[in-house]
Amino acid sequence: MKPVMSWVASDCDINVISWNNAEATRFLIASGDDKGEVRIWDMRMLQPFMGAKKAEIDPITQIHWHTDAITSIQFEPREESILAVTSADNKMTLWDFSVEIDEADRV
């Protein structure tokens, strides 16, 4: 058996991934690594590779807020824009990707 897709997602160990199960956003995968970085990948941007060539893709979002390795990551099953993240820094964060920047804050 051969993989359908492959790409370099981090320059260190990836500890966890979560696939978004919501119908409208089931093309999103989140990954968390040893450096405390969270990345969101849009699977529609990946193309199956031919032979030994790996797909090249940049994450659509890259968050470096935690100060230690990401230990778990999970999309909220009933709200496609919410992502929960825990880390070895003893913190848990909830990220809401539907929130837009307020015009007053932009100035």
Residue spans of the domains in the chain: they are 14-99
Q: What would the mean pLDDT of 68-74 be, rounded to a whole number?
A: 97
Average pLDDT for the chain: 84
Instruction: State the sign of the Cα–Cα–Cα–Cα dihedral 19, 66, 71, 49.
Output: positive
Task: Yes or no: say if 73 and 41 are a contact pair by the CB < 8 Å rule.
Answer: no
Query: How many CB atoms are located within 10 Å of the residue 93 CB?
Result: 13
CA distance 73 to 39: 11
* β-pairing verdict for 14-19 and 28-33: antiparallel
- Which pLDDT score, from 0 to 100, does residue 34 have? 96
Contact 18, 77 (CB under 8 A): no
User: Would the pLDDT of 85 be above 80?
Assistant: yes
Q: 4: pLDDT confidence band, cut at 50, 70 and 90?
A: confident
pLDDT band, residue 10 (cuts 50/70/90): confident
- Could you report the per-residue pLDDT of 29-57, keeping only the tens digit for each? 999 999 999 999 988 887 655 555 556 67
Tokens standing for residue 57:
């893709």
What residues does 87 pair with on adjacent strands? 70
